[in-house]
A = this chain, B = another copy of it.
């Protein structure tokens, strides 16, 4: 016998409305609209990202991790914008074979991340699709008025910094596809989690507002996203390949196959934050890195021009940005 499947209104009452508790503007999802009233002195920053099964995640990825990835790819942009999470709306297109168990696990994932990042669902839409599972989330963050961070304003001489480690998500996807050399026992779960569960660097947001000139989340690939900063700011950049922060697993794999490094620098899905700051901030940022719980690494500097150069001990490397994974 087929599992009972709830209708739209039952899904809302049982699974989605509880995710709005504590956010009065959502009206418990009893109205079609939500009311967003930023506190005095704040404004909203907004980001919409969609993810599609088979394109941005694997159709058999655990439902709770799919939910958390859908939310976190947006929160990564809220962090890069200098914001703190506030609320989100979600359009969920369920494929023909959806089950209530899947929805329950999906919403449990959202609930876990709502608690971790202190935000609420405030509305959305659930539809049926003859195609793959598709999730579009519009996330709202709060920033003090006039302080939202962008990509425009980097100046020659700025240091270039990046959070965390680069390339783990790309290696995790390869591991899921069986497309990596043999891994040590603890490497596979680490890399797969880095692919499935981005870590939005929200602790950095107030620091960005204070010390950064520009910031961007690294989702298209380190070199491509640095290129976006250069284009928006009308500058060039020079980074040192040996400075790219790698996890122990990535470092071991790159050691065995140095040709992997340019792949990881262009692969995307890192959801780390790249930012620039004047070099008098260097000591302060090195001190902060010890308190943040994740690395802050200085990669190079902004230069005159319009190109991103990747150097290895000062010698230019050729990097094919288009070699990175593109979602589109």
Contacts and interface: CB of A to CB of B under 8 A. Distances in A.
Interface in A313-328: 326-328
A47 B31 CA distance: 10
A55 B129 contact: yes
Per assembly, the copies of the chain total 2
B37 A44 contact: yes
Contacts of A78: 33
Interface in A24-73: 27, 30-38, 43-52, 54-56
B132 A77 contact: no
A43 B33 contact: no
A206 to B, nearest CB: 16
Contact of A48 (B123, B150, B152): B123
A48 B31 CA distance: 12
B32 A36 contact: no
Interface string A109-151: 0000000000000111111111110101010010101001011
Q: Which of A30, A44, A48 has the most CB of B within 10 A?
A: A48
A77 B125 CA distance: 12
A236 B253 CA distance: 68
Contact of A130 (B55, B151, B328): B55
Interface string A227-246: 00000100000000000000
A100 interface: no
A10 to B, nearest CB: 11
A20 B51 CA distance: 23
Q: Which of A141, A216, A327 has the most CB of B within 10 A?
A: A327
Interface stretch (A88-96, A184-192, A194-202): A88-96
Contacts of A152: 27, 30-31
9 cross-chain pairs, A with B, having the tightest CB-CB distances, nearest first: A131-B131, A91-B136, A50-B91, A136-B136, A37-B43, A33-B81, A138-B138, A48-B89, A8-B328
Interface of A: 7-8, 27, 30-38, 43-52, 54-56, 77-78, 80-81, 83, 89-93, 122-132, 134, 136, 138, 141, 143, 145, 148, 150-152, 216-217, 232, 326-328
